Each structure stands twice: as C-alpha cells, then as structure tokens.
Amino acid sequence: MKRLILFSACFVLFNFVKAQNKTADSTAVAKTFTELLTTCKKVDWADPKTTELGTFYKAAPYIVYRGDDKKRAWKDFADYNNAVEKEGVNNVCFKINGGVNQDTAYKIIKYQTETESEGTWHILMVSYIRKGIAKQAAFAFLKIRNRFGLGDID
C-alpha cells in the first residue's frame, strides 16, 4: 500500500513538473515570437548600426542558423555579419512583415511541441488577417543555449 501511495505521489509530481515546464516554455516562446515581430516591424533608422550593418541586424539573435556548417546548423543563431546568413535573416523579416505583421490583432491559437532530429520544436499556430483574408501560419522554435530561436515558418 505504501508503495502504491508513493508511486501515485511521484506520478502526480512528475506530471505537475512537466506541466510547469510546458507552461514556462510556451510563455518564453510567445515572448520571443512577439519580440521578433517587433524587431522586424520597427526598424530604428536613427541607430547608426542599422546603416552600418543592415536593416534587420537586431533580428539575427532570434533566428536559428540553418546553413551548411553541420557544427552550427540547428545549434546556433544567425550571424548577421555573414552575407548568406544576413540574407536569410532579411528574408525571414520580409516574410513576417508581409504576413503576420500586417495584422496588429493577430492571435496565437495553439502551442504544441514535436520532437525531431534537430531537437524539440516549440510550435505556435498563429491566425491573422492579410488583405481581408484569414490566414494561419506555424512558427517553429528551437531552444538553443537556454533561449528560443525561430527555425521555420510554414
């Protein structure tokens, strides 16, 4: 009987901790998502680095590196000083600005996780209106060095 009670208590505690982590992760992913949208939308033209480095240099730390370097792919963030990675960051911001950033009333409608070879993906399903048409997009984030970065938009 004692073992059954102990087992039940451990099971409840484990599920409680797991739920706590899921809540903390979903909150952190949503915060990262919001910060990335703001960074892509509100470019500080008075910032000398914007002229020196490029329009979306502040977005690079929010975007996962997906290039050919196997040591960095899916394990690091984009480096805006690299021309290829800079182009990738710019393309992500253009896609965001042409989509979800067109609607200030967008809604995060779902959070889920999926485990793939790259790690655990934290996915936000987002609904928004673009040119009067309801749209949805999935924004997939990976956790790298204790923070989240955008790895894919579907």
More confident residue, 139 or 19: 139
For the stretch 100-143, pLDDT in tens is 999 999 999 999 999 999 999 999 999 999 999 999 999 999 99
Q: How confident is the model at residue 13 (pLDDT cuts 50, 70, 90)?
A: very low
- What is residue 4's predicted lDDT score, i.e. its pLDDT? 39
Q: Delimit the domains of the chain by residue range.
A: 2-153
> Where are the alpha helices (H) located in 76-148, listed in sequence order?
83-98
What's the pLDDT tens digit per position in 123-135? 999 999 999 999 9
**Banded model confidence at residue 9, pLDDT cuts 50, 70, 90:** very low
The tokens for 84 are 């290829």
Sheet holding 119-130, edge to edge: 107-116, 119-130, 133-144, 147-153
